[in-house]
Amino acid sequence: MNLPNKLTLLRIILIPVFMVVLYWGFPGASYVALAIFVIASLTDMLDGKIARARNLVTDFGKFADPLADKMLVTAAMLWFVENGQMAAWMLLIVICREFAVSGLRMIAADKGRVIAAGWSGKVKTASTMVCIILMFLPIPAILNTVCVWVITLTTLYSGIEYFAKNKDVIATA
């Protein structure tokens, strides 16, 4: 197994560790969980850079990397829903967008077409990661609300953009 795949696997392994730390609830647990989240997020950046630079792109990486990202983000947001920091319907928008875009990509791949991450998808990912990090800190309630809306609106916008730019994929499905 190459280094990028090992980093992806590490990210997947860190997800249950992240959740156990949160549920354990010892003093400072949210800061430890935040550190785990940041480390896991950094492995995502690192594995992608290494894979592209060294031409180590694998089928495992193509499958597991985006799955690990979705699992990590969903785990954090589930915690926020449970703690009343995020409405469940907003998390549902995030989850439905991820399933829908993944489905669109599978249909496109079946037709020999690759749908690369668009600009709005990258903005969504970056803003979501920043907002999740902020939401683990003792921020004012209004800033938490802003973060939740930023996550929800960038998710909605990028999902709509993916389908608008690739409507021909669905039209011929």
Express the helix, strand and coil content of the chain in percent, nearest 5 each: 80, 0, 20
Distance CA 155, CA 31 (A): 26
CA dist., res. 57 & res. 66, Å (int): 13
pTM of the model: 0.92
pLDDT category of residue 33 using cuts at 50, 70 and 90:
very high
43 and 96 inside one domain: no
Asked if 133 and 37 touch (Cβ cutoff 8 Å), the reply is yes
- Pair 108, 141 in one domain: yes
Q: Of 68, 100, 116, which residue is a domain's last?
A: 68
Read off the pLDDT of residues 34-67 as tens digits, 9 standing for 90 and up: 999 999 999 988 988 898 899 888 888 888 888 9
